[in-house]
Amino acid sequence: MKPEIIEKTNAIGEAYYYAKHKSGLDIYVIPKDFASSYAVFATKYGAIDNCFEIEGEEGLHEVPDGIAHYLEHKMFENEDGVDTFSRFAEYGANANAFTTPTMTAYLFSCTNHLYENLEILLDYVSKPYFTPENVEKERGIIGQEIRMYEDNPGSAIYYNLLEAMYEKHQTRVNVAGTVESIAKITPELLYDCYYTFYNFSNMTLCISGRAEMDKVLELVDKILPEREQKKIIRHYHDEKPEVYQKRVSASFEVAKPMFLIGVKDMDIAEDAKLRTKKAVAMEILTDMLFGDTSPFAIDVYESGLVNGFDASCDHAHDSSKIFLEGECENPEEVYDHFIAYLDDIRKNGLSREDFDRVKRASYASYIKIFDSTRLADRYTFMLHDDCDPFDYGDALKSVTFEDVEALFPLLFKEEYFAMSVVNPIAEA
């Protein structure tokens, strides 16, 4: 039976099509007038999913850190020995994959042979092939990937901060794992994780470019094997709202100290629409307080206190946080400045004029997203957070100054702040 195809459009002339395949797979097609098309086949499975149960089955599974990422590497192995990348190369496609805390995604982009490439994507991701030899071979490669990040102060400062902010919750887990944790990974463990998280009701297929839903559905019918739909019960460790440690530091061969301040927020709604609404308010608030036009950003630039200052935030089902980063002589001085600035805002309030200006700029950057040839990427992130990609634009339109104002005191409390520092190695 052919599934129903739903079309959605928005005010700036964008559209997408949605269908649910009988395997449970959610399929999205975003028509774009580009020469290239971009497809993402992704599972809701990432670094934070290291403890889980399957409904109706006995036993709690606790798996080594880094296994979702290891599995991503190993999916490229095929039983007939043909390399996946070379299968794509035959049709001129550019293939890749990535793992995040909540997702593993397999993708390609191409200017030709879209359906041939799509067939390869569906085929290799639905056929695991793990042997003791090929699993062993990967340990050296991933070991070097981990080493590369160990020498990278930007990566160290980030994971150190997560470990300081979160005492137990898996947000603190490094996506690649450690050399020690990946030593425990076996073909059996990989198969267990694969058959749990790569059941198609836990996956999405999203294509932007010149695809037609009918043809995509035909291919999905043809390629995907029958697979039991499983309900996964994920266990995330309880986490208190306050940060675990206020300070963490490391030493690297860098020129100047680096800082990364984190604001932890454990107030995350179950309902996706509420989450989208809060995400928008949080982005505007972060921009008003720490964006390019904020008094804070201008002050640290003009005074020379910080070089390369940047602020960002993300609010999704797994975690919610704000980051402030830069290089400076004395990170504690920046932190004190941050605290004094917030006190000042508490006393004097936020500016309505700033709100209007930042909101307009956010609207413009939202529209610019649709020029991207990699739109399917963006959609996949939203879909995995159970958000409709167009809801974000609507929430942006309807967000008010009062929404943002109300959020400020909830987010900015001293017990939610932590700072990670990288210091230059002292000369011997």
Partner 1 sequence: MVFERKELASGIFWNAVHETKFKSNLISVRFVLPLTADTAAKNALLFPVLLRGSEKFPDIGSIRREEESIYDTTLNDSVYKRGDTQVLELRMSVLDNKYAIDGMDITERAMMLLDDILLHPVTENGVFCEEYVESEKEKLIDDILAQVNDKRRYAMTRLTEEMFEGDAFGLSELGTVETTEAVCPVCLWKQYHEMLSTARIEIFAIGNFDFDALSARFARMFEGIERRYTGAPKTKVMQGARKEVKTVYERQNITQGKLSLGFYTGSTVYDDDYHVMQMLNVIFGAGVTSKLFLNVREKLSLCYYCGSSENGHKGYMTVNSGIEFANEKKATDEILFQLDEIKKGNISESELRDARLALLDAIGRVGDSTGNILNWYFAGVMNEKLISPEEKRELIESVTAEDIVKKAQDIRLDTYYFLCGKEGNA
Instruction: Please check whether residue 389 is in contact with residue 378, taking contact to mean a CB–CB distance below 8 angstroms.
Output: yes
58 is catalytic: no
49-86: buried (b, 16+ CB within 10 Å) or exposed (e) per residue? bbebbbeeeeeebebbbbbbbbbbbbbbbbeeeeebee
Residues of this chain, 368-427, that bind partner 1 according to CB under 8 A: 368, 370-373, 425
Q: Which residues pair with 108 in a beta bridge?
A: 39, 95
Q: Taking Cα atoms as reference points, which of 31, 335, 86 lies closest to residue 208?
A: 31
Instruction: Please check whether residue 218 is in contact with residue 119, taking contact to mean a CB–CB distance below 8 angstroms.
Output: no
The one catalytic residue among 14, 62, 72, 405: 72
* Ramachandran bin of 121, using left for φ above 0, alpha for ψ from -120 to 50, beta for the remaining angles: alpha
Instruction: Please check whether residue 228 is in contact with residue 52, taking contact to mean a CB–CB distance below 8 angstroms.
Output: no
CB of 361 to partner 1, least distance (A): 4
Stretch that binds partner 1, among 162-170, 229-237, 255-263, 399-407 (CB under 8 A): 255-263
Q: Which two tokens stand for residue 314?
A: 């993300």
Of residues 5, 54, 85, 266, which one binds partner 1 by CB under 8 A? Answer: 85
DSSP secondary structure code for residue 425 in this structure = P
- Cα gap 413→242, rounded to integer Å: 9
Instruction: Please check whether residue 36 is in contact with residue 111, taking contact to mean a CB–CB distance below 8 angstroms.
Output: yes
Q: Taking Cα atoms as reference points, which of 262, 374, 242, 380 lies closest to residue 312?
A: 262
Backbone angles phi, psi at 334, to 5 degrees: -65, -40
Q: Which two tokens stand for residue 40?
A: 């993402």
CB of 82 to partner 1, least distance (A): 11
x-or-dash string of contact with partner 1, 323-352, rule CB under 8 A: ----x-------------------------
CB of 293 to partner 1, least distance (A): 5
Of residues 26, 145, 386, 388, which one binds partner 1 by CB under 8 A? Answer: 145
Of residues 20, 34, 230, 408, which one binds partner 1 by CB under 8 A? Answer: 34
Of residues 6, 15, 141, 339, which one binds partner 1 by CB under 8 A? Answer: 141
CB of 43 to partner 1, least distance (A): 21
59 binds partner 1 (CB under 8 A): no
135 binds partner 1 (CB under 8 A): no
- Cα gap 97→90, rounded to integer Å: 18
195 binds partner 1 (CB under 8 A): no
Q: Where are the alpha helices (DSSP H) in 51-131?
A: 67-74, 84-89, 114-125
36 binds partner 1 (CB under 8 A): yes
x-or-dash string of contact with partner 1, 224-243, rule CB under 8 A: --------------------
Cβ distance to partner 1 smaller for residue 271 or 371 = 371
CB of 96 to partner 1, least distance (A): 8
Cβ distance to partner 1 smaller for residue 115 or 363 = 363
Stretch that binds partner 1, among 194-202, 213-221, 222-230, 360-368 (CB under 8 A): 360-368
CB of 140 to partner 1, least distance (A): 3
Cβ distance to partner 1 smaller for residue 83 or 336 = 83
Stretch that binds partner 1, among 253-261, 273-281, 333-341, 378-386 (CB under 8 A): 253-261
- Cα gap 303→323, rounded to integer Å: 21
Q: Taking Cα atoms as reference points, which of 210, 162, 200, 199 lies closest to residue 65?
A: 162
CB of 150 to partner 1, least distance (A): 5
x-or-dash string of contact with partner 1, 295-314, rule CB under 8 A: ---x--xx-x--xx------
Cβ neighbours around 404 below 10 Å, total: 25
Of residues 9, 131, 144, 330, which one binds partner 1 by CB under 8 A? Answer: 144
- Cα gap 271→391, rounded to integer Å: 13
293 binds partner 1 (CB under 8 A): yes
Q: Taking Cα atoms as reference points, which of 81, 120, 79 lies closest to residue 97?
A: 120
Q: Given CA atoms 85, 91, 93, 97 in this order, what sign does their dihedral have? A: negative
Cβ distance to partner 1 smaller for residue 150 or 344 = 150
Q: Which two tokens stand for residue 275?
A: 């989450």
Of residues 131, 152, 330, 400, which one binds partner 1 by CB under 8 A? Answer: 152
CB of 18 to partner 1, least distance (A): 22
- Cα gap 17→6, rounded to integer Å: 6
Active site residues: 72
Residues near partner 1, by CB under 8 A: 12, 33-36, 83, 85-86, 89-95, 109-112, 137-142, 144-145, 147-148, 150-154, 252-256, 258, 292-293, 298, 301-302, 304, 307-308, 327, 357-358, 360-365, 367-368, 370-373, 425
